[in-house]
Structure 1
Amino acid sequence: MKEKLSPFLILLAAILWGTTGTTQAFAPETAHPIAIGATRLAVGGIFLVLVVLIIGKFEFTNWPIKTTILASLSMALYQPLFFTAVSITGVAIGTVVAIGSAPILSGLIEWLYLKVRPSKIWWYSTFLSILGCLMLFSNKESVLVDPMGIIMALGAGLSFACYTLISRTLVENHSSLSVVAVVFTLSAIWLSPFLFVFDMSWIMSIEGVGVSLQLGIVATGIAYLLFAKGLVNVSSSTAVTLALAEPLTAALLGVFLLGEYLNITSWLGIFLLMLGIGILIWSSKNSRSEQGLGKMGNIETF
């Protein structure tokens, strides 16, 4: 049962991530995007540590310190790289390049370093999802292709792909809750200097508190805990492709909550995104029913 639910846990995590943009729309105007990113990691890390202490399931035996540091650095780097890319080259291009490149980079990393070759189904579903993502953002704004912004966005995509791949090795030997609690606490420490660089007075307002709690607890703490639990039974390349449900959720929330307009091309992009994700989930369910889930070193079901 847990194996069948794993893709849906990752999908649910991506949906929670998709609420980030809508939530930030309600943040005070003085809140800098990078400061919001640092705050969400800090709140998320504290929340996860409290949950671990309350439940009492912290496992520190034989903990891989180097791997944990790499995972936390990957997550910490993602925040400033992504927000910088968006500020330089725009929301549409920055988001598409960062989120769209992550599945491809993840698949290539698995292929080159883990010798796990993604299946044709994965390539088809990833292509459909990325194409859908491109079409979804086609009407957002005028296209501004800034080389530095593209590099930053690719760096963000690589950071997320690395975080996913490294975290998967951690959750194989330790509880998902312990992994995300440690990783996000360290990530928050790496980004803590930003809390002193930018104006943080906004966090004391009612809107600031609400935004910080929603982003930190729901869109970070709970979301990445679900993501980590799903990674136990899902390859990293598949998980990153399923995470493309994030822009899908953000677009739909923008339409229904913020009154944004989507043209026919964008709605077709939403359809392709849902089709690509649906194919991947269907493929994973079929592969498990036929041969079960393999170990990380020989996964060929995705």
Structure 2
Amino acid sequence: MHILAVIAAAVLFGTTGTAQALGPEGTTPLSVGVTRLVIGGTALAAIGFALARRHRQRTGSPARGATARDLALMATTGVCLAAYQPLFFLGTARNGVAVGTVIALGSAPVIAGIIEWALTHRRPGGTWMIATALAAIGVVMLGVGGDAGSIAGADPVGILGSIGAGASFAVFANAQRRLMDTGWDPFTVAGAMGATSAIVAALALPFVDLAWLATPAGVAMSLWLGIATIAIAYTLFTWGLLRLSAATAATLTLAEPITASLLGIVVLGERLSPLAIGGLVVLAAGLVLLAWGARTPRDPRPYAIEA
């Protein structure tokens, strides 16, 4: 179930591009990203804290106090979620959506695995390495097979932005995993991430043009992006992370480009080249292999993490 929860989250992530494409005129990546985070982060906090309270009532466990380290990790998750968006959009603005997405999504699982290895001294298993390699190859084929040009000729600043986005995702996934390893329930962890990200995004509201929000299409797009792709998606992702490593969860989110590509074909009338179609097949094979290899639940006991 935890694997399916992360994959479901990735499917919701994959609807972002199509929702933006169907949105109103006059939007900018920054204004959409800020609005998405303010709405989604607030909703994620409300859902997460409500589920955490219900979890405590059901289990009879008392509310726990947060140490300074816990608060720092919680703040890190929200700041990284907020930082992901401008870094991701910088990469896509400089190098195109396909190449920027390839670098961001392809780098996140690798960085997550390296961080987790460094923190826990547990090397990712062979199945994860093979599955991640297959998935990364599939993502590259999907990106190069599109019309966005070559990764080899990509703009260096855009590459750094995309890698920064991948690193942001990897860091907050590992921070969430560490919080749960020390006994925090996933719903409180998700709620804290939502609250922090909403506060960070709200600071940027005075600097973006939100005139498009006055239209019905703008409201519908904002609510979908906020509620579905942030609040619901990250609740599912964090709950799934309870029984998965950060590296495995990050790789499973590569179901996102599969969803985005299929929606582009079905909803937006886009076409994929044979290379891109082959990339989808290879990517799907990597995710199936990873899901098969991770079918045994992760040891819920805390890692022996050195300070």
TM over 0.5: yes
Residue 249 (str. 1) matches residue 259 (str. 2): yes
One-letter code aligned to 1:194 = A
1:163 alignment partner in structure 2? 172
1:154 alignment partner in structure 2? 163
More moved, 52-61 vs 82-91: 52-61
Would the aligned equivalents of 1:135 and 1:268 in 2 still touch at CA under 8 Å?
yes
1:43 alignment partner in structure 2? 39
> How far has the Cα of 1:55 moved from its partner?
5.7
Would the aligned equivalents of 1:129 and 1:276 in 2 still touch at CA under 8 Å?
yes
Counterpart Cα distance in 1 of 2:96 and 2:176: 29
Counterpart Cα distance in 1 of 2:141 and 2:52: 46
One-letter code aligned to 2:149 = S
> How far has the Cα of 1:178 moved from its partner?
2.3
> How far has the Cα of 1:100 moved from its partner?
0.3
Consecutive unaligned residues in structure 2, runs of 5 or more: 57-62
Counterpart Cα distance in 2 of 1:156 and 1:238: 18
Q: 3-state SS of the aligned residue for 1:297?
A: coil
2:197 alignment partner in structure 1? 187
Q: 2:21 aligns with which of 12, 25, 49?
A: 25
Q: What's the CA shift string for 1:164-185, capped at 9, x where partnerless?
A: 0001122342332222222112
One-letter code aligned to 1:109 = I
> What is the aligned residue count?
291
> How far has the Cα of 1:142 moved from its partner?
2.3
- TM-score, normalised to structure 2, is 0.89
Residue 86 (str. 1) matches residue 92 (str. 2): yes
1:8 alignment partner in structure 2? 4
One-letter code aligned to 2:303 = G
1:229 alignment partner in structure 2? 239
Q: What's the CA shift string for 1:78-101, capped at 9, x where partnerless?
A: 111111111112111111111100
Counterpart Cα distance in 1 of 2:81 and 2:205: 17
Counterpart Cα distance in 2 of 1:38 and 1:180: 19
1:141 alignment partner in structure 2? 148
Counterpart Cα distance in 1 of 2:101 and 2:49: 36
1:215 alignment partner in structure 2? 225
Would the aligned equivalents of 1:76 and 1:190 in 2 still touch at CA under 8 Å?
yes
Q: Percent identity?
A: 37
Would the aligned equivalents of 2:99 and 2:148 in 1 still touch at CA under 8 Å?
no
> How far has the Cα of 1:74 moved from its partner?
1.2
More moved, 55-64 vs 15-24: 55-64
> How far has the Cα of 1:110 moved from its partner?
1.3
Q: 3-state SS of the aligned residue for 2:53?
A: coil
* CA 94–53 in structure 1, closer or farther in 2 if over 3 Å, else same: closer
Would the aligned equivalents of 1:116 and 1:298 in 2 still touch at CA under 8 Å?
no
Q: What's the CA shift string for 1:24-79, capped at 9, x where partnerless?
A: 11122211112111111111122234335766718762222111111111111111
2:64 alignment partner in structure 1? 61
* CA 272–67 in structure 1, closer or farther in 2 if over 3 Å, else same: same
Q: 1:130 aligns with which of 132, 136, 144?
A: 136
- TM-score, normalised to structure 1, is 0.91
Counterpart Cα distance in 1 of 2:253 and 2:124: 17
